[in-house]
Structure 1
Amino acid sequence: MKKILLLLLITIYSYSLELQKDFLEPQDAFKKEFIQLDDKLIFNLKLGDRIYLYADKLKVLIKTPQKIDITEDLSIPTPVPYEEFIVHFEDQSIEIPFSLLKSKVDSKVYDLEVKFQGCSKDGLCYAPMKESYKLNLDANAKEKNTNITDAQVSNDSELNETDIITNTLKGGNTLFILATFFGFGLLLSFTPCVFPMIPILSSIIVGASQHNKMTATRGFFLSLVYVLSMAFAYTIAGVLAGIFGANLQVALQNPYVLTIFAGIFIALAFSMFGYYKIELPQSLQNRINKSTEGKQKQGVLGIAVMGFLSALIVGPCVAPPLAGALVYIGQTGDAVLGGLALFVLSMGMGIPLLLIGLGAGKFMPKPGGWMDSVSKIFGIVMLAIAIWMLERIINPTIAMYLWSFLLLGTAIYLKIYKHILAQLFTVIVFLFGIVLFIGAISGATNPLLPLEKFTSSKGALIQDDKLNITYIKNINELDLAIKASTKPVMLDFYADWCISCKELEHITFKDPAVIKKLKGFTLLKADVTANNDEDIALQKKYGVVGPPALIFWDTNNQEIKAAKIVGYKNPKDFLEIVNKYF
């Protein structure tokens, strides 16, 4: 196993070195200059070897005093088909006559912007770029025939969170980058990505303490094995996604895999209820037990496997730091730095899990009869995780019934405890189970709002302010919808298995202030649950690593890249970003 992993890392590293050696840096791939003459401004763009431009990404805009797209009014060479795109292979020399500017909007001062994006024929696509130029037509204000080089061009374009993180990787000190990503991981540890892993790890520690005395050192060691396996999975999946453009975590979020994994948790639950024991095959146990500490090695192997699978299937989160690292690997081929960044990000996410292991080992009581009860409680938690996973692929109302049955069954089980606090908790759980059952009958779909159909004020608010959303399936449908819109456009990348997508749907997009703001948008949604070829092509075109991601266009059908949102945003943060650009 170690040899296979080592060979995989060496292959990835060698491939990354080859990529770094062959691909041009952005400043070499696209050499730019503005030249101002007496009656026109010229934008020259010299392309590097084997570089081409996307025709639909080449735009010339007046930014002020009025925002106008003048691309179609300019003389630009005819592009040619290449693979499935329309592109330019030749250098560009775009003349912008002052008379054209005057005909569009009369002014002495113009802020102009040229947008473009290109790729290498060898397979690397560069990030979208934009160059700005302030043109002053006052003869006394500026000398004519002035050459403006790259160093003098003002580039005041704003970047979204993902782009900022990508640029941090490109231009920072390695230690600073790794420290930054560790901090990102700590922040992500308080998101739904990590929460489901807490009961999984806790149940592992409780199970291990039945066979050996649990100390702080042993609890920390077991947690470390789990977290390292989780980090290793994130790193390998991320590096492969960055280099080959396939997101392994997303690929695993299909009904078959999720159903199998939910079945594993159900099997673990019944094992904790005492119906049977789950162990390695006897032949494998005998081999392991021939070495010293054989039983310990069995436990460590199981924990490592669970940590690895948990990262890929239980917690597939896409947030700006993760997306930024994957975009960086994809653009530069630097799998080493990108992989290290992903690894320390994962370790930061795992810090709460390490603390849980340390604390459990330190404060865990001596083994005894109490552990049977704790095991059964964790069995209930395993069933909850199984339902939580199935929620991604089953009808929401069926999920409501499952939650109801689980809580009612839990309440019936807890009646065996005579302690007053246990009895009080039993009554609460039973009542909430009844409420969920009533909510399921009413057609409610959110377990946190089971009676939303009966709450007249909130129900009326949602009904009156229901957002009009159009679903699109592919790039062609998206392009047609954007061109047909007379309002700004927001595209929501969504998947049933994406927990953060559901947070956006049930929290952010239900906020009255957000609803009021989005009434002024054409709202589109791309459901990429199936992760088919059309879904992959759509995500690839807009640099989406995985859902949730929100892409925005203005009324001129121009994508506002700085407004791009990756991951969950609460209503306040969402409005802060949207209000900045619209």
Structure 2
Amino acid sequence: MRVFLLALLALFSSLSQAQPFANPFAQSDFLPVDKAFVFSAERQPSGEMRLHWKITDGYYLYQKRLKFDGVEPQAVPALPPGLAHSDEFFGDTQVYRGELELLLPASAKGQLRMGWQGCADAGLCYPPQTSVVDLGGAPSSAAPAQASDQALAGTLGEHGLAWGLLAFFGLGLLLAFTPCSLPMLPILAGLVMGNGASARRGWALAGAYVLSMALVYAALGVIAALLGASLQAWLQQPWLLGALAGLFILLALPMFGAFELQLPSFVRDRLERAGRNTRGGSLYGAALLGGLSGLLMGPCMTAPLAGALLYIAQSGNAVHGGLVLFSLGLGMGLPLLLLVTLGNRYLPRPGAWMNLVKGLFGFVFLAMALYTLRVVLAPSLWLGLAGAWLLALAWSAWPALKPIRALQPALLLAGLWGTLSIVGAAAGGDNLWKPLEPFAGKGQGTAISQAHADAFTTVTQPAELKAQLEQAKAQGQWVFVDYYADWCVSCKVMEKQVFARPDVLAALQGVRLIRLDVTADTPASKQLLQHYEVPGPPSMIWIGPEGDERRARRITGEVDAATFLQHWIATRSQG
């Protein structure tokens, strides 16, 4: 265990000094956007409002990216001539270097919503920024509106490391019961309860599990920030997912007594020795399971994770980023640790019931194998296997749990639902919650799916994205950009539960819908991710009719249809 922890800690140290990694967002010498472009707004004695940008050497602001909303047209300041500049993003244009000063007349009232964007000569182009200046008479400085990942990254940069560790630990507590981290609970419960560990041993096992999971999670996060979405795609390779699923099946075998099967003697002896050595739980086994949990959660993209990755990318400080991700992992693991270890105290004394518990957790491990393979298997096949799992669970548990009348309806429902799922899978269904959907609606679901597919334009090349954005800008059209990958489970969930809904499609009428497919780990996919500094899918972006992203409204991670529509309504109402 000690060697394992030292190896992971050494990984953090080596990452902080590693030079071969090509950071897709920023090199180590790139400044955060608020340091590269220091903006201030100050009321002058004359009553005019002075807007000032101090632009660091080696950086520049685009003239045509300056936007002024919320004030009368006559109050919009005249822009001074800029310097001629040519780049691959906007072609021949005018830029400002050194500093830029603009004056708004004293008569300007209300709130000025200002957009601007800058780049570095070394090749990094920052995302568009939005600042709000209060013109109601009192001197005010800009209060930039930020998305959640921006706000977290900015807070990490402004405050000390200790504050960041505490903040991300709290975020981890909030994330502990989200769909991304809930799969850890049955694994940890099976480890502690399934082995019949004592209270003290349970704390040790759960502690080793959570510590190992947090370290792996932090390491994956740092590597993902340095390599971009390449790691996300790599973690979804069929051979790796198959290996993980195989391990979960192997962990389920002792729960069913499968080691007593007539396997080859050398295999049987090894398995039996492994089973004897882990009675009551092994710390090394707990650490291994924690690492597996970290790998399972690695592809999950949430706003806190995106904020930490954005901070790492902008600052180049992989050690600080790794530490806050480690703190996030500890926060995610603490509620599970307490739930399993404290909950274990209230269980009855060891007895025959423990064999039943071990059998149930054997089914839990099989469920985790199915969960791991959900990306690789065809949807209908996955539905059929899930139905078979439910049917087998009900069939196996019925003899032992039949005397408990309160559980009889649940077992009958599980068996019935499993049967319906198998039938639905045979008919081409893929929805576990609506297994008989292929037999209902007479093709209505297919029509909705086809309407959804027709609504989005799939883009895989940067040149295609540029052409789509230029067309939308020329037509004064809103643009919605959805980053998608075949290996992204949350993307597929949103594809069915959000973007295929008639009310969502109706709300998006008139919006140009672009799906950026970054499934393949290619230079083109990396350029698409770099274009808006997106750490990985699912990420959703709104672009206004004038061509500027509404950065404060960016969505990172999986959301439901109601939340998505709220974002769109708020974005559209703010213009």
TM-score, normalised with respect to structure 1: 0.78
CA–CA distance in 2 between the matches of 1:54 and 1:395? Answer: 48
Residues 414-448 of structure 1 show CA distances to partners (whole Å, capped at 9, x for unaligned) of 34334254554442222111211232233322111
CA–CA distance in 1 between the matches of 2:432 and 2:281? Answer: 38
CA–CA distance in 2 between the matches of 1:371 and 1:488? Answer: 59
Q: Which residue of 1 aligns with 2:22?
A: none
Matches within 5 A, 1:314-329: 314=297, 316-329=299-312
Q: Which moved more, 1:259-268 or 1:171-180?
A: 171-180
Preserved contact between residue 383 and residue 431 of structure 2 (Cα < 8 Å): yes
CA–CA distance in 2 between the matches of 1:492 and 1:466? Answer: 17
The 1:556/1:274 distance shift into structure 2, 3 A limit, reads: same
1:447 corresponds to 2:432: yes
Q: Which residue of 2 aligns with 1:103?
A: none
Preserved contact between residue 474 and residue 538 of structure 1 (Cα < 8 Å): yes
The 1:559/1:273 distance shift into structure 2, 3 A limit, reads: same
Preserved contact between residue 26 and residue 126 of structure 1 (Cα < 8 Å): yes
The 1:110/1:294 distance shift into structure 2, 3 A limit, reads: closer
Matches within 5 A, 1:109-508: 113-119=114-120, 121=122, 128-130=128-130, 154-172=141-159, 174-209=161-196, 214-243=197-226, 245=228, 248-276=231-259, 299-314=282-297, 316-417=299-400, 418-419=402-403, 421=405, 423-456=408-441, 459=444, 463=448, 466-467=451-452, 468-485=455-472, 486=475, 487-508=477-498
1:12: how far off?
4.0
The 1:7/1:86 distance shift into structure 2, 3 A limit, reads: farther
> What letter is aligned with 2:495?
E
1:524 corresponds to 2:508: no
Preserved contact between residue 52 and residue 87 of structure 1 (Cα < 8 Å): no
Q: Which residue of 1 aligns with 2:56?
A: 48
Query: Any stretches of 5+ residues in structure 1 without a counterpart?
Result: 99-106, 142-150
CA–CA distance in 2 between the matches of 1:357 and 1:108? Answer: 58
1:154: how far off?
4.9
1:321: how far off?
0.9
Preserved contact between residue 269 and residue 382 of structure 1 (Cα < 8 Å): yes
Q: Which moved more, 1:74-83 or 1:485-494?
A: 74-83
The 1:304/1:297 distance shift into structure 2, 3 A limit, reads: farther
Preserved contact between residue 11 and residue 219 of structure 2 (Cα < 8 Å): no
Q: Which residue of 1 aligns with 2:546?
A: 556
1:156: how far off?
4.5
The 1:79/1:153 distance shift into structure 2, 3 A limit, reads: farther
Query: Any stretches of 5+ residues in structure 2 without a counterpart?
Result: 20-25
1:63 corresponds to 2:63: no
CA–CA distance in 2 between the matches of 1:493 and 1:80? Answer: 28
Preserved contact between residue 448 and residue 500 of structure 2 (Cα < 8 Å): no
The 1:124/1:575 distance shift into structure 2, 3 A limit, reads: same
The 1:23/1:558 distance shift into structure 2, 3 A limit, reads: closer
1:566 corresponds to 2:556: yes
Preserved contact between residue 132 and residue 153 of structure 1 (Cα < 8 Å): no
* Count of residue pairs brought into register by the alignment: 545
Provide the alpha-carbon RMSD of the alignment: 4.6
CA–CA distance in 2 between the matches of 1:429 and 1:560? Answer: 46
The 1:91/1:153 distance shift into structure 2, 3 A limit, reads: farther
1:11 corresponds to 2:14: yes
Preserved contact between residue 485 and residue 537 of structure 2 (Cα < 8 Å): yes
Q: Which residue of 2 aligns with 1:146?
A: none
- The DSSP-based 3-state class of the residue aligned with 2:399 is coil
CA–CA distance in 1 between the matches of 2:92 and 2:287? Answer: 48
CA–CA distance in 2 between the matches of 1:437 and 1:128? Answer: 50
The 1:464/1:437 distance shift into structure 2, 3 A limit, reads: closer
CA–CA distance in 2 between the matches of 1:285 and 1:401? Answer: 32
The 1:563/1:462 distance shift into structure 2, 3 A limit, reads: farther
The 1:153/1:25 distance shift into structure 2, 3 A limit, reads: farther
Preserved contact between residue 205 and residue 222 of structure 1 (Cα < 8 Å): yes
- The DSSP-based 3-state class of the residue aligned with 1:550 is strand
CA–CA distance in 1 between the matches of 2:287 and 2:507? Answer: 47
Q: Which moved more, 1:552-561 or 1:464-473?
A: 464-473
The 1:192/1:24 distance shift into structure 2, 3 A limit, reads: closer
1:301: how far off?
0.8
Preserved contact between residue 232 and residue 536 of structure 2 (Cα < 8 Å): no
The 1:298/1:427 distance shift into structure 2, 3 A limit, reads: closer
> What letter is aligned with 1:194?
S
Preserved contact between residue 380 and residue 425 of structure 2 (Cα < 8 Å): yes
CA–CA distance in 2 between the matches of 1:395 and 1:496? Answer: 12
1:354: how far off?
0.5
CA–CA distance in 2 between the matches of 1:423 and 1:134? Answer: 64
CA–CA distance in 1 between the matches of 2:86 and 2:283? Answer: 58
Q: Identity over the aligned pairs, expressed in percent?
A: 33
- The DSSP-based 3-state class of the residue aligned with 1:168 is helix
Residues 216-242 of structure 1 show CA distances to partners (whole Å, capped at 9, x for unaligned) of 222122111111111111112222333
The 1:90/1:392 distance shift into structure 2, 3 A limit, reads: same
Q: Which moved more, 1:337-346 or 1:504-513?
A: 504-513
CA–CA distance in 2 between the matches of 1:249 and 1:129? Answer: 27
1:457: how far off?
11
